[in-house]
C-alpha cells in the first residue's frame, strides 16, 4: 500500500516530469522560427545550421539531467522506505526520458531533412548551368556532379578539370547522412526499444524471480536482425543520394555492425558458443 505521503511525493514528481517534458516542446517550438529564417536565407549556412542544432541538443540533454538528478537526489531518497512507490517513480522517469529522446530525435532529423530539401532546390540552378570548354567554349558533357572530374571536350579534345559549385559540395556534405538517418529513424527506435525491453525483462527476472539468466541466443539474434535492418535501410537511403552498389552497401553494413560484435556479442558466452569462437 502506498501511504498518503508517498502518494503526495509521487503526485509532485509526476507534475515535475510533465513540466520538464513540456519544456522540450516549448524549446522546439521556439526553435522553429529560427530554423525557418535560416532556411529562407539565400546565404544559408549549413555550419551555422548545425551549430544551432547542437545548441538545442545540449538544452535537451540538460532536461534529461534535470529529471535524472531530481529523481536520484530527491524522489528516490524521499521514497526510500516505499519500494513500490519508488519503482513507480523510476518507471515514470524512464518513460519520460524515452519520450524526450524520441521527440527530440524526430524533431532533429525532420529539420535536417528540411535543410537537405532546401539545399536541393537551390541546386537546380547549378545543374542546368552549362560548363564551357576552356579551349573552344563548347558545352562539356559532364558525367558526375558531386565530385571534381576531368572532362574531355568532344569538339577539341582538350581535357578540362571541372569542379562542382560550392552549393553542390554543401549539399553532398550533409545530404547522405541526414537523409539516411531520417529514413532509418524508426529502425533505430526499434533497436532501442528492444534493448530497453531486454533490460526491463532482466530486471524483473533478477529482482522478482531471482533468476540471473542473461540474454539468450534467440534474443541476441533478434537484436542482431534489428540492428542489421537499421544499417541496411540507412545505406540503401544513402545510395539514393550518392551512387553505391549493392556490394558496397553490404560492406558498409558489415563495417557498422562490427562494433556490436566486438564490444558486446563476442563478450557473451552464449554467442561465442553459437559462433564457435574460443
Ligand atoms: Zn573544346
Whether the Cβ atoms of residue 32 and residue 107 lie closer than 8 Å to each other: no
Q: How many angstroms does the Cα of residue 243 sit away from the middle of ligand 1?
A: 28
Q: How many angstroms does the Cα of residue 151 sit away from the middle of ligand 1?
A: 10
Q: How many angstroms does the Cα of residue 75 sit away from the middle of ligand 1?
A: 76
Q: How many angstroms does the Cα of residue 156 sit away from the middle of ligand 1?
A: 4
Q: What pLDDT sits at residue 169? A: 86
Q: Please write the tens of the pLDDT for every residue from 119-129.
A: 999 887 787 78
Q: How many angstroms does the Cα of residue 6 sit away from the middle of ligand 1?
A: 84
Q: Please write the tens of the pLDDT for every residue from 89-122.
A: 999 999 999 999 999 999 999 999 999 999 999 8
- On the question of pLDDT at 2 being above 90, the answer is no
Q: How many angstroms does the Cα of residue 149 sit away from the middle of ligand 1?
A: 15
Q: How many angstroms does the Cα of residue 128 sit away from the middle of ligand 1?
A: 19
H runs (alpha helix) in the chain: 4-40, 46-70, 76-78, 83-128, 166-183, 185-209, 217-238, 246-263, 269-275
Q: How many angstroms does the Cα of residue 158 sit away from the middle of ligand 1?
A: 5
Q: How many angstroms does the Cα of residue 134 sit away from the middle of ligand 1?
A: 7
Q: How many angstroms does the Cα of residue 122 sit away from the middle of ligand 1?
A: 28
Q: How many angstroms does the Cα of residue 146 sit away from the middle of ligand 1?
A: 22
Q: What pLDDT sits at residue 4? A: 66
Q: How many angstroms does the Cα of residue 132 sit away from the middle of ligand 1?
A: 8
Q: Please write the tens of the pLDDT for every residue from 199-237.
A: 989 988 888 888 888 899 999 999 999 999 999 999 999
Q: Please write the tens of the pLDDT for every residue from 40-61.
A: 998 899 999 999 999 999 999 9
Q: How many angstroms does the Cα of residue 139 sit away from the middle of ligand 1?
A: 8
Domain ranges (residues) in the chain: 1-127, 130-164, 184-278
pTM across the whole model: 0.86
CA distance 165 to 129: 10
Q: Please write the tens of the pLDDT for every residue from 156-195.
A: 999 999 988 888 888 999 999 999 999 999 999 999 999 9
Query: Mean of the pLDDT values across residues 123-139?
Result: 88
Burial of residue 44 (CB within 10 Å: 0-12, 13-18, 19+) is middle
Amino acid at each position: 500500500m502506498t501511504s498518503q505521503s508517498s502518494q503526495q511525493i509521487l503526485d509532485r514528481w509526476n507534475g515535475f516530469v510533465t513540466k520538464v517534458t513540456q519544456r522540450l516542446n516549448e524549446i522546439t517550438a521556439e526553435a522553429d522560427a529560427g530554423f525557418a529564417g535560416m532556411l529562407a536565407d539565400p546565404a544559408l549556412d549549413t555550419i551555422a545550421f548545425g551549430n544551432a542544432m547542437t545548441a538545442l541538443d545540449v538544452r535537451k540533454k540538460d532536461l534529461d539531467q534535470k529529471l535524472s538528478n531530481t529523481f536520484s537526489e530527491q524522489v528516490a531518497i524521499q521514497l526510500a522506505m516505499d519500494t513500490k512507490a519508488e519503482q513507480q517513480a523510476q518507471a515514470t522517469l524512464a518513460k519520460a526520458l524515452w519520450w524526450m529522446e524520441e521527440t527530440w530525435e524526430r524533431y532533429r532529423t525532420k529539420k535536417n531533412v528540411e535543410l537537405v530539401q532546401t539545399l536541393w532546390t537551390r541546386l537546380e540552378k547549378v545543374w542546368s548551368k552549362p560548363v564551357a570548354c576552356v579551349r573552344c567554349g563548347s558545352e562539356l558533357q559532364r558525367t558526375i556532379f558531386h565530385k571534381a572530374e576531368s572532362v574531355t571536350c568532344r569538339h577539341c579534345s582538350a581535357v578540362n578539370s571541372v569542379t562542382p559549385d560550392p552549393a553542390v559540395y554543401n549539399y553532398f556534405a550533409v545530404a547522405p547522412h541526414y537523409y539516411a538517418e531520417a529514413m532509418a529513424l524508426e529502425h533505430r527506435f526499434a533497436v532501442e526499444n528492444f534493448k530497453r525491453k531486454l533490460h526491463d525483462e532482466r530486471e524483473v527476472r533478477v529482482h522478482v524471480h531471482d533468476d540471473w539468466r542473461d540474454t539468450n541466443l534467440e534474443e541476441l539474434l533478434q537484436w542482431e536482425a534489428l540492428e542489421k535492418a537499421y544499417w541496411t535501410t540507412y545505406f540503401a537511403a544513402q545510395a539514393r543520394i550518392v551512387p553505391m552498389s549493392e556490394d558496397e552497401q553490404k560492406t558498409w553494413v558489415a563495417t557498422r555492425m562490427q562494433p556490436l560484435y566486438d564490444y558486446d556479442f563476442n563478450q557473451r558466452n552464449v554467442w561465442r558458443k553459437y559462433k564457435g569462437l574460443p
